[in-house]
Chain A
Amino acid sequence: MAIGVKVMHRPGSEASYVRATLKGMALTFRHLFRPKITMQYPEERSTETWTISPRWRGTHRMLTDEQGRSKCVACGLCPQICPANCIKLVPGEDEDGNRYPLIYEIDEFRCVFCGYCQEVCPEEAIHVGVHYENAEYERGRFVYDLERLSAQTHPVSSLWDPTDPRGE
């Protein structure tokens, strides 16, 4: 015992092999008939006991006005606050002096889905969405441009409201 092997001394009178085995077998047998809580995902997306939270922060969505133009006024607040630096914004201005984004791109790979862009936006234009199925065949497709952001249709996230912390 040069390396200090610890030898356990188990009292033989309290040991139980056969009974313990049978007990275990009974337990697993009961588990055979337990109701399963697995959700059959592609067919079933929400059940009575589980739905996706309305505060889920997923891939972005740009809201548009009645004429189908994006609500964004290119104020530059969202690239400013973005901790991951994933928003690329090049502002432009039309003849009436209205600012609009010439280029508005979000790299969804860099994004950390903090939702600050939605919180900071004065026009309620950019939102994070209640959406989680993002699969593409190439990496480049994960840089969403303005057109793609406006074309999204999924519901937008309702961010945490300090006056209603439990979302009631």
Chain B
Amino acid sequence: MTPEMKGFILVSVVKLVVVFTFVMILVAYATLLERWIAAWIQDRVGPNRAGPKGLFQPLADGLKNILKEEVIPGGASKVLFVIAPAISLMAALMIPLTIPWAAPIPLEFDVTLPLLGRIVHHGSTAAAVTVLPIGFLYVLAVSSVGVYGIALGGWASNNKYSLMGGLRATAQMVSYEVAMGLSVIPVLLLVGNVSFVEIVTAQQQGPFGWLVLPLGLSAFIFLVSGFAETNRVPFDMPESESELVAGYHTEYSAMKFSAFMIAEFAAMVTISMMFTTLFLGGWDIPGTHWDEAGGMAQFLLTAVVFFTKCLLFLFLFMWVRWTLPRFRYDQLMALGWKVLIPMGLAYVLFVAVAVWVVDGPLGVTSVAARSGLLFLFNVPVLAFVFRVLDRGRLIRGSSIRSPAPAPRRARAA
């Protein structure tokens, strides 16, 4: 093995450990943040007992869940019952690995270590565990695997409610994955690449660089499907406690339940990271090109910026959860299939035409002007869509489907 190869492996392992640790810590504290925000919104104080200000609460929760008894129901399919939370967790933790979370790290070393021998690393390394050229396609593929965890968990429990929860989750995630995929196609059209690193690079140019501006509707569809993909309120049908006890994890206890919770929060973190990367410029600091120069200070600061953006989204997730009520199941499906997917398709067409108009007949060459023009095209589209959505023409209740029955004859009284 060449010293360069060893260097690559060593750096990759270190990055892997760092990302995994960071995501797990973020997940642990997301649970605390969730409880705090729930409490604050309801004018309560929230957890404040474990440690200063309650900061050790995740630790206490974890310890409790590890020490609790694991119950496997009698009629359960044991193997699948045990594997299901692991599948969920793994799928959720595999996505952050491809996302660049800071500017490239300048790394130059040439050292000889005992046991390992000479290790060399030249140039900078991207701040993502792997730079996958297929980027977003990998995310779509892996996030679908998460459905298996939930569906299998629901089925293996041998419980009606669990099964219903699992089925709902499957239907919901499969439907919204289509909308999510469609919402990202305009990004790919504009950037011309599926790699996350390239998508971030493309967003660093010009005042309208962040794709949330030229592709506002995409961002909106992505956000809504993101909520549905992570099974969060207002789309938490898989575990709707008023109907299904606790949905697919009704029969789960102790650490296996915890694994499902971690998976849910990890999925939230992942969606936040992806939204940041796709639409909010990733680790880009707006209004300056200093962050692209490369260097240790740039690396650290851009990492902070990236995680601030992610935290904003985590907050949005929680804020929405404690504000909105749950959708009805038919409304959820109607929103997915009758609104978001056609809207996504139409928007792909719209963006394709707009890009063609801007690049062809108008002959705009500057990147800033290109995205600025697209932003201008988007304003009326967004206004129209929100107006239609606001009137509820597309997600109205069941009353519009069945015309009012003619008043029945008065019962013989």
Contacts and interface: CB of A to CB of B under 8 A. Distances in A.
Interface of A: 1, 7-10, 12-13, 15-19, 21, 24-25, 27-29, 31-34, 36-38, 40
28 contacts: A7-B398, A7-B404, A8-B397, A10-B396, A12-B391, A12-B400, A13-B391, A15-B392, A16-B391, A16-B392, A17-B389, A17-B392, A18-B386, A18-B389, A18-B390, A24-B324, A28-B41, A28-B319, A28-B322, A31-B41, A31-B43, A32-B37, A32-B40, A33-B40, A34-B40, A36-B44, A38-B45, A40-B48
B323 A28 contact: yes
Contact of A37 (B41, B43, B396, B404): B43
B402 interface: yes
Contacts of B408: 1
On chain B, which size bracket covers the interface? Answer: 20 to 34
Contacts, number: 68
Contacts of A36: 40, 43-45
Tell me what chain B mostly uses at the interface: helix, strand, loop, or mixed: loop
B405 interface: yes
Contacts of B386: 18
B89 interface: no
A19 B388 CA distance: 12
A17 B395 contact: yes
B2 interface: no
B217 to A, nearest CB: 13
B228 to A, nearest CB: 16
A12 B389 CA distance: 11
Nearest to A20: B390
Contacts of B40: 31-34, 36
A7 B402 contact: yes
B320 interface: yes
B399 interface: yes
B390 A17 contact: yes
Nearest to A9: B399
A31 to B, nearest CB: 5
A38 B44 contact: yes
B409 interface: no
Nearest to A16: B390
Most chain-B Cβ atoms within 10 A of its Cβ — which of A32, A37, A40? A32
A133 to B, nearest CB: 19
Contacts of A40: 45, 48
B42 A21 contact: no
A166 B111 CA distance: 85
Nearest to B396: A12
Nearest to A1: B405
A93 B398 CA distance: 84
A7 B393 contact: no
A25 B43 contact: no
Given A12-B393, A25-B320, 19 more contacts: A7-B399, A7-B404, A7-B405, A9-B404, A12-B391, A12-B400, A13-B391, A15-B390, A15-B396, A17-B390, A18-B390, A21-B323, A21-B324, A31-B42, A31-B43, A32-B40, A37-B43, A38-B45, A40-B48
